[in-house]
Amino acid sequence: MTPTLFTLVAIACLLGMLFLGIPIVVALGTVSVLGVAWLTGGFDAALNILSNTAFEGVRDYVFAVIPLFMLMGEFVSRSGAAEDLYLAINRMLRRLPGRLAIATVGGNAVFAAVVGVSVASAAAFSRIAYPAMMKAGYQRSTALGCIAGSSALGMLIPPSVLMIVWGVVTQESIGALFVAGVVPGLLLALMYAAFCLGYALLRPERFGAAAGAAGRAAEREALADTPLSTEQWVGCLGCLLLIVLVLGGIWFGVFTPTEGAGVGALLALVVALVKGMRMKGVLESIAEAGRTAAPILLLLIFAQMYSRMLALGGLGGAIQGVVRDSGLTPGMILMMMAAVWFLLGMFIDSVSTILLTVPIFAPVAVSLGIDPIAFALVGILVIEAGIITPPFGLAVFTVKASINDAAVSLGQIFKGATPYWVMLLVLAAAVYHWPGLATWLPSVM
């Protein structure tokens, strides 16, 4: 068996293990270590490579970005600052039709700039926005679709965990990826908000109008007309300060992404303490950030072993040769990649999808002349669409688990999220056709 054929068999075994329900970290680690052992001719070489990879990976300066940004998000979320943001945006939009849905989009956009995890956004706004929408008479599918769909902003607007993982895997600048996500992220948020406004004007009964005067009164009372307390203003302004100082510092080169993550975690702790978080909450935030970040860091170690297996097997060069001789256009190749991302996104999380596919796809995209920054944004958009794609969209299941409402079905959430899924793909196509949407801002910074 040739090294290239063996590598293809190893990838097929890896996918088979995933579809059988074996945890990604176990499947990826087993296949990568065994694959490297076969390709190098012995377990001793594979274990030496694994130990060196783990040592170098864990001590790598850039790896600290992930737990630090997650810790920042935990402090902000547990302190109640996310709810403060939603209340403030809700008040500003009180005269707009469908303002609760628009406030959910706006809250997700700002929350994404602090947390950077779609699932965290979906869980937070399921508990914050859903009760207010139900009180105002919104239809369930409309409310839940907005929450699940707008959670995708969490992985596009920086700081994004997906951008960090993509940068680690491809050796692209994480700071450049952060900056590249600003324009597409804001554009997606505007698309979502415009859709909610237009839909509310066309189908007002889905946004509480069918409830009559009582429903409209409930909507006016649903968190919008109550003045914000001093504590709530602290949470709201604290989040905005985090965005300006942390992301602004990274964008303008004041500090690196890792230093920015450290500054952000410290400032978020200050905001949480000012809002009344006790030591128990601080310790719980640290523990939860560790529980979330540790599997990702372990996955990144095995992903480097996986990349070594691909390199030893010569799979990248073989695929590039096939693509070069196929006669297919770059757009057709990208559509094939998107199909793979959709399939994987229905069954595994976004980070795992990147780790499995990007080491193969990124060199192919570069050989096709696609700008690597634009390709990263297209990939993240398509992968994010996977988390709201049936039958196993992760964001949809997160919303269902967070609201604790027996009357809600998964089908209702998938149906309501469909327009947001379409807009994600439209924006991905736009970034591919006009890569300047992603590359313009990094080029001028």
pLDDT per residue, tens digit, the chain (445 aa), is 688 888 888 888 888 887 787 877 888 888 888 888 888 877 777 788 777 777 766 666 666 777 888 788 788 878 877 777 777 777 777 778 888 888 888 888 877 766 666 777 777 778 778 888 888 888 888 888 898 888 888 777 777 888 888 988 888 888 888 888 889 988 999 999 999 999 998 988 888 765 444 445 454 544 445 666 777 777 778 878 887 888 788 777 788 878 888 888 888 888 888 888 888 888 988 888 888 777 777 777 787 788 788 877 877 677 777 777 777 888 888 888 888 887 777 677 788 888 888 888 888 888 888 899 999 999 999 988 887 877 667 778 778 877 777 778 888 888 888 999 999 999 999 999 999 999 988 777 6
DSSP letter string over 155-180? GTSSS-HHHHHHHHHHT--HHHHHHH
178: which 2 tokens? 């952060």
Least Cα distance to 385 among 436, 353, 441, 341 occurs for 341
Whole-angstrom distance, CA of residue 441 vs CA of residue 184: 10
* Domain total of the chain: 1
Main-chain dihedrals φ then ψ at residue 160, nearest 5 degrees: -115, 130
In terms of pTM, does the model score above 0.85?
Answer: no
Query: Which residue(s) pair with 138 in the sheet?
Result: 207
Residue 41 burial class via C-beta count within 10 angstroms: exposed 0-12, middle 13-18, buried 19 and up:
exposed
Alpha-carbon Rg for the chain in angstroms: 22
Helix (H) or strand (E) segment spanning residue 239: helix 230-242
65: number of CA atoms within 13 Å, CB side?
A: 30
pLDDT of residue 212: 47
Estimate the crossing angle of helix 43-58 against helix 279-313, to 10 degrees.
140
Q: Which residues contact 64 (CB under 8 A, 6 or more apart)?
A: 258, 261, 262
What range does the domain containing 221 cover? 3-444
Nearest to 49, CA basis, from 306, 415, 250, 282: 306
Strand partners, 207: 138
How many Å apart are CA 346 and CA 348, to the nearest integer? 6
User: With the C-alpha atoms ordered 365, 368, 369, 374, is the resulting torsion angle positive or negative?
Assistant: negative
Please state, as a whole number, how many other Cβ atoms lie within 10 Å of the Cβ of residue 259: 17
Is 65 in contact with 261 (CB distance < 8 Å)?
Answer: yes
